[in-house]
Amino acid sequence: MAAYPLEIILSRQLAENLAIPAFITDPAGNLLYYNEQAEVLLGKRFEFTGPMSVEEWSVIFKPKTKEGKDLPPSDLPLVQTLHTRRPSHHTFWIESLGGQRHLISVTSLPLLGPEGTFYGAMAMFWNNEPAL
Amino acid sequence: MNVTFWGTRGSLPCSGPDTQIYGGNTPCVSVSVGEELLILDAGSGIRRLGINLKGAYSTFHLLLSHLHMDHIQGMGFFLPLYDPKAEVHIYGPAGHSAPLIDRLSRYLSPPLFPIRIRELPCRLFVHEVPPRPFNIGSFRIVAQRVIHPGVTIGYRIQHGQSILAYLPDHEPMLGANGRMKDLRWLSGHDLAHQAGLLIHDAQFTDEEYPRFVGWGHSSLSQTLEFARLTEVRQLALFHHDPGRDDLQMEVLFQQTLAQQVLPFDARIPKEGEILVI
């Protein structure tokens, strides 16, 4: 079992100490880690789920457009960053486990190491409403 | 594989009457098998290594973990650099902005040093370590970046069945909050895993560590835990605080070990000591 690259390990340590939700994925989109604030967003605990594939995590929180249509995974900032290896930002609606709709903003960044090695991506979430 | 300790101290040389047992020189370790020699770091201990080599080798391979001063300050006093017949290869981490030779030359040039690195009489070759395993003679080398301020690498050196892991400056528990049971999240794990000998940072006491979180070093207990998680067979505690004298080191070591049952041999190597793995 190989350890994760240093960039991923340090990203997790940053995420653990942030008060905003954060995701960390590998280059294939596997969700390697999400912090406690993101656990609230997903309604799941990392301790129990462990890593998740992009197909699993991208639909858990039911992303929606302003008109209420389902937002395809390909339109999520984190998925776009994984495809383009560039930063991405998007504001959209999600439906929480309790059925409430919330407007959130997501910014994702590629994790590039020396010589441009692509190690994955990190996304941070911002709740535009006071209670999420 | 013979592993000789020429400098075990961190941060600053501290030779004196109260550091005679464990020594006061900063990091330098030589690794030899037959006619082959590797040198790990160029702290002040490398000066005495250069004197002791006495023409026994014509080719030298110096592997640097990083470029903090305590790991390169002895380089200008390594005699083979001034031997026109010597071939010296220096390996170190690639930087984000400037080539390794340019970063080394910040020290090996006036006003910090009278001789420029490009003026050294030996045949000098500077290599940025590749991200993949590579060979130096019959040694197999793995170099990976580890948690320490700036770009810092640890080494895993294999010769036959013998494995040495060298992580002189390392803070694997930074931010870990004791939750690193999943070893994929443990910095340096792959370098140290099941090594015959792990040489690892043990700069702080457990009481000191909270004041120095993020400085890139480990406490003695953290290092013991890292060695346990990586299943090494022998641990050499390294990079000791220059403010710690021989007696303090022995008391600290004995007190900490008295609280634990370790599945490996742990020791504080003395300057000049040779360990065989």
Residues 6+ apart with CB under 8 A from B226: B170, B172, B173, B186, B188, B192, B200, B218
| Phi–psi pair at B2, nearest 5 degrees | -95, 125
Q: Contact, B140 vs B161, CB < 8 A?
A: no
**pLDDT at A98 exceeding the cut of 90:** no
Contact: B189, A9; criterion CB under 8 Å: no
Identify the burial level of B24 via C-beta atoms within 10 angstroms of its C-beta, where 0-12 means exposed, 13-18 middle and 19 or more buried: buried
The percent of residues in chain B predicted with pLDDT above 90, rounded, is 87
Q: Could B131 and A1 be called an inter-chain contact, meaning their C-beta atoms sit closer than 8 Å?
A: no
Tell me the pLDDT band of A132, cut-offs 50, 70 and 90. Answer: very low
Question: Do the Cβ atoms of B116 and B162 come closer than 8 Å?
Answer: no
Inside any domain, residue A122: yes
- Dist CA B36 CA A65 (whole Å): 65
Say whether the peptide bond before residue B131 is cis (omega within 30 degrees of 0). Answer: no
With an 8 Å Cβ cutoff, is A47 touching chain B?
A: no
Percent of chain A with pLDDT over 90: 46
As a whole number of Å, the CA-based R_g of chain A is 14
Helix axes B220-229, B246-258, angle to 10 degrees: 50
- Given an 8 Å threshold on Cβ–Cβ distance, is A114 in contact with B96? yes
Any idea what the CATH number is for the domain that residue A107 is in? 3.30.450.20
Which two structure tokens, joined as six digits, stand for A120? Answer: 């994955």
Q: Do B187 and A117 touch (CB under 8 A)?
A: no
Count structural domains, chain A: 1
> Which range of residues forms the domain containing residue A77?
6-127
pLDDT at B214 over 90: no
- Residue B44: pLDDT band (50, 70, 90) is very high
Strand B36-40 relative to strand B59-63: parallel, antiparallel, unpaired? parallel
Residues 91-130 of A with CB under 8 A from B: 114-115, 117
| B108: Cα separation from own chain's centroid | 20
Task: Name B237's bridge partners.
Answer: B200
B186 CB near a chain A CB, below 8 Å? yes
| Residue A82, in any domain of the structure | yes
Q: What CATH number corresponds to the domain at position B46? A: 3.60.15.10
Task: Specify the pLDDT at position B29.
Answer: 98
For every residue of B185-229, DSSP letters joined together read GSTTHHHHTT-SEEEEE--B-TTTGGGGTTSS--BHHHHHHHHHH
pLDDT of residue B56: 87
Q: Does B149 touch chain A (CB under 8 A)?
A: no
Rounded percentage of chain B residues whose pLDDT exceeds 70: 98
* B151 at interface of A, judged by CB pairs closer than 8 A: yes
ipTM, 2 dp: 0.70
Quote the DSSP letter at residue A52.
B
Looking at the predicted structure, is the pLDDT value of residue B176 above 90? no
Which residue matches tokens 């390594």?
B78
pLDDT tens-digit series, residues B105-160: 999 999 999 999 999 999 999 999 998 999 999 999 999 999 998 889 999 999 99
Cα–Cα distance measured from residue B144 to residue B105, given in angstroms and rounded to the nearest whole number:
23
Alpha helices (runs of H) in chain B, residue ranges in sequence order: 46-53, 69-72, 100-105, 189-192, 220-229, 246-258
Tell me which amino acid residue B167 is: L
Q: For residue A132, tell me if it sits in a domain.
A: no
Identity at B156, one-letter amino acid code:
R
Write the CA distances from A70 to A56, A58, A80, A100, integer angstroms. 15, 11, 17, 15
The yes-or-no verdict on residue B180 having pLDDT over 80 is: no
Q: How far apart are CA B37 and CA B39, in angstroms?
A: 7
Total count of domains within chain B? 1
Torsion of CA A14, A17, A21, A25, to 10 degrees: 30
Chain A closest-CA separation from residue B84 CA (Å) = 34
Rounded to whole angstroms, the Cα distance separating A79 from A63 reads 13
Return the H-helix or E-strand segment holding A11: helix A6-16
- CB proximity list for B57: less than 8 A, separation 6 or greater: B35, B37, B80
B132 to chain A, closest Cα gap in Å: 13
pLDDT digits (tens, 9 = 90+) for A17-46: 788 999 999 999 999 999 988 888 788 888
Q: What is the DSSP letter of B129?
A: P
Q: CA of B174, closest CA in chain A: separation in Å?
A: 8
Contacts of B210 (CB under 8 A, 6+ apart): none
Query: What is the span of the domain harbouring residue B230?
Result: 2-276
Among candidates A10, A13, A114 on the partner chain, residue whose Cβ is nearest the Cβ of B94: A114
Report yes or no on A1 lying in a domain: no
Query: For the residues B226-241, what does the mean pLDDT come to?
Result: 97
Work out the minimum CA distance from B150 to partner chain A, whole angstroms. 12
